């Protein structure tokens, strides 16, 4: 499950979406789709930031 989907399930709201192009030399014609999510007004964010660095479970 993507981070955006997980946050939407926790009550975050979808503010908008946008696309941007990948490197036109490495990925010609390809674009990335992004979700912009935020907390409803008056809500408090208590979660810890997501660790986006993937660690192989086999590593010590």
Mean pLDDT of the chain: 75
Question: Tens digit of pLDDT for each residue in 23-36?
Answer: 778 878 888 888 88
Query: Concatenated DSSP letters for 3-47?
Result: HHHHHHHTT-EEEEEEEEE--TTTSTT-EEEEEEEEPPTT----S
pLDDT exceeds 80 at position 41: no
Domain ranges of the chain: 3-38
pTM of the model as a whole: 0.45
Instruction: Read off the DSSP letter of residue 52.
Output: -
Q: What's the pLDDT at 56?
A: 58
């Amino acid at each position: 499950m993507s981070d955006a989907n997980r946050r939407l399930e926790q009550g975050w709201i979808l503010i908008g979406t946008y696309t941007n192009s990948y490197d036109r030399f490495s990925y010609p014609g390809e674009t990335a789709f992004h979700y912009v999510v935020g907390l409803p007004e008056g809500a408090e964010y208590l979660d810890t930031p997501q660790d986006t660095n993937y660690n192989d479970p086999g590593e010590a």
